[in-house]
A and B are shown apart, each in its own frame.
Chain A
Amino acid sequence: MSTTSTDSANDAAAMTPAVATPAGGDAPQQPKQMLRERLAGLRGGDLGSLPVVVGLVVIVIVFQSLNSTFLNSFNLVNLCLQIAAVGIIATGVTLVLLLGEIDLSVGSVSGLAAAILAVLNVNEQMSPLVALLAAALGGLVIGTIHGLVFTKLGVPSFIVTLAGLLVWQGAQLQVLGSQGTINLPPRGGLQQFGRFSYLEDWQAYGLAVLLPVLFLAAKLLTRARRTRAGLPVGAVWVPVAQALLLLVVLLAIVAKLSIDRGVPWIFVVFVAILAVIEYVLRRTRYGRAVFAVGGNIEAARRAGIKVDALRTSVFAIASMLAAVGGTVAAMRLGFANQSSGAADTLINAIAAAVIGGTSLFGGRSRMYSALLGALVIGAIANGLDLLNLSSALRYIITGTVLLLAVVIDALASRGRQSSGR
């Protein structure tokens, strides 16, 4: 009977893995089963982080063979410095994309925040910390406005934030006034932090050991809880092996970067922000609600989630992160000017989020997508710089890579639909 055969086809599709779900990491799996599900997922159009990682490896091989300084410590420290700002902005973009919305204003908001930071610190003689807080708060207010116009007036997010793109760029020019460029004091706290602050060796190696230990502790705690709840658990050696791998990778990175200046503090700030956001997204009720709204807004509403407040808060957080990213950029460059946050800031942030594995269709995002994506975008820009190639080529390549990522996302989404998922 035809119905029965449809059923069994669906049941076969049902065996594919839950890579995109926030709690997927908790599921206990034996390595063999994991591998089998992974392969089934690849066939079903679920490529996981594979394309990004392969892409990154290809980029590294190409640039290293064209210019052997690409992988030296000096350049890798530069790369960490370069991706911090765009990575922080991309983290906020990830949140908005999870809702199935878009924020086109993040570049302008980051530029306005840079201007606010510079004016308050230089012209108004405020302390670096107060200036930073003011800039971040400005972002929060801006995002709240976007969110309210979007939810209360029903204006599509791309229109609200497209208007924001212009309005906040205008505000940036207004704040800067007649001064084209405001230099941050070379010996002031802001430039010191953005350009000259690196982890001490003991701090860097300490972190490289601490993070895998925390990772393992969390995994074992989860395992103990599952055992107590009578749920199946996987083999112990799997998280142990993962932690060891993480340890080796982190130690190698720290060792490599320490040959030069070391691990930049602004890079640590980026990864810390990303880690907090990932935790909130995947381990709290708030994060679960963000995924739910992105997956099926009507279902979320019926489940009692305050959809409008949630969406407004996401826009607020995204703009705040854009503002923080803008201040980080200003601190690293040592100035704010009329083109702060202009040019490719917006497209790089969105590209980083999408390339890292955040779907434009809402409700799906891979762990640490902003970091992976920012690495890809940053490596391309950095490599082309080393080759002294024009920014024309950089735009073309970044645009092509973004398009590729979106095509992969669209194909994966179509794959999910055709396999009934």
Chain B
Amino acid sequence: MSADVLSTEPHTPPVGTSLLSLTGIQKRFGAVRALSDVDFEVRAGEVVALIGDNGAGKSTLVKVMSGAGPADEGSYRIEGREVSIATPAAASSHGVATVFQDLAICDNLDVVANLFLGRELTRGVALDEAEMERRAVELLEQLSVKLPSVRIPMASLSGGQRQSVAIVRALLGSPKVVLLDEPTAALGVAQTAQVLNLVERLRDRGLGVVLISHNMADVMAVADRAVVLRLGRVAGRFDMADVSREQLVATITGADTNVVSERAARVAGRSPAAPTGPEGNQA
């Protein structure tokens, strides 16, 4: 009974195997081509950042993966097998869990009740509170999520704690892939760190994590790879080990010289046109 709560899945794929892969994804909304010919892959034990400007198609792609808005064309593979994911239920039964930006949390219920909402454990007709609490505590402990108590209403928790609970909740279904839509958007510095720690722990457990974010600092901090969308197409794929923040920003905006990089350069005290200062081109 004291076994790892998360490893109820019969097999955990070895790190590096492809968990979820999309190829040739097309999605139109009337005249708008929201996604054209997008390929995307998540492997076990990696964090893939999905970044792009507003309207680039990030949310549309997440909806394709989560089953909330299936693609018009393209193939969807789970561990190499072609699947049809037309509903959120189909996605979760294939091991793809989504934590949406607007947290689906009931503030009036406590942490345990929220974690098990819709899949409560029972003994006969009665809720099995002791068993649910035991598993909740164990799960939170395994992921080092610190809460004052699991029996206080969600409304009492800080933003970072709430986001952590929302993520842990997604893990109860033993998914292989977790999609996080802007998990740190509403958080302060310390709370963001909490959530990023949790993201790293998910990766260390061999899950594939897709992180949608506007925040380059977060992306640089935890992602292994980044896929940049621009105007519904993949504008670049990067290994985080060998990409700079400026390169990412340039790809997002679609220009090597642009408002953002110009500003960055000016602040750094040099002009992009004349990179001949004493510090040269070292960046």
A residues whose Cβ falls under 8 Å from a Cβ of B: 1, 3-4, 6-7, 10-11, 13-18, 20-24, 26-27, 222, 225-226, 228-231, 283-285, 288-289, 291-292, 294-296, 298-300, 302-305, 362-364, 416, 420-421
Is B12 part of the binding interface, using a Cβ–Cβ cutoff of 8 Å? no
Chain B residues contacting A17 (CB-CB under 8 Å) are: 152
Is B69 part of the binding interface, using a Cβ–Cβ cutoff of 8 Å? no
Chain A residues contacting B158 (CB-CB under 8 Å) are: 7, 10-11, 14, 420
Scoring B residues 200 to 243 as 1 if CB is less than 8 Å from chain A, else 0, what string do you get? 00000000000000000000000000000000000000000000
Scoring B residues 167 to 208 as 1 if CB is less than 8 Å from chain A, else 0, what string do you get? 000000000000000000000111100000000000000000
Chain B residues contacting A22 (CB-CB under 8 Å) are: 109, 113
CA distance A216 to B104 in the complex (A): 37
> Which 5 pairs across A and B sit closest by C-beta, in order of nearness?
A303-B118, A3-B188, A295-B106, A421-B155, A363-B108
CA distance A26 to B149 in the complex (A): 13
Q: Are B117 and A20 in contact (CB under 8 A)?
A: no
Chain B residues contacting A295 (CB-CB under 8 Å) are: 106-109
Chain A residues contacting B100 (CB-CB under 8 Å) are: 302
Chain A residues contacting B126 (CB-CB under 8 Å) are: 283-284
The smallest C-beta distance from A136 to any residue of chain B, in angstroms, reads 22
Is B283 part of the binding interface, using a Cβ–Cβ cutoff of 8 Å? no
Chain B residues contacting A13 (CB-CB under 8 Å) are: 156
Chain B residues contacting A27 (CB-CB under 8 Å) are: 149, 151
The smallest C-beta distance from A382 to any residue of chain B, in angstroms, reads 34
Q: Which of B21-29, B127-135, B269-277 contacts A (4 or more CB under 8 A)?
A: B127-135
List the A residue with the shortest CB-CB distance to B189. A3
Given contacts A3-B188, A7-B191, A21-B151, contact A26 B161 (CB under 8 A): no
B residues whose Cβ falls under 8 Å from a Cβ of A: 88-89, 100, 102-110, 112-113, 117-120, 122, 125-127, 129-131, 133-134, 137, 147-149, 151-153, 155-161, 188-191
15 additional contacts, CB 8 Å, given A222-B129, A299-B105? A4-B189, A7-B190, A7-B191, A14-B147, A23-B113, A27-B149, A225-B130, A228-B130, A284-B125, A288-B120, A288-B127, A295-B107, A295-B108, A298-B104, A303-B104
List the B residue with the shortest CB-CB distance to A285. B120
Q: Are A288 and B105 in contact (CB under 8 A)?
A: no
Which has the most chain B C-beta neighbours within 10 Å: A17, A18, A27? A18
Cβ-neighbour of A230 out of B103, B107, B134, B148 (below 8 A): B134
CA distance A23 to B133 in the complex (A): 11
CA distance A200 to B28 in the complex (A): 75
List the A residue with the shortest CB-CB distance to B187. A3
List the A residue with the shortest CB-CB distance to B88. A302
The smallest C-beta distance from A52 to any residue of chain B, in angstroms, reads 20
Chain B residues contacting A3 (CB-CB under 8 Å) are: 188-191
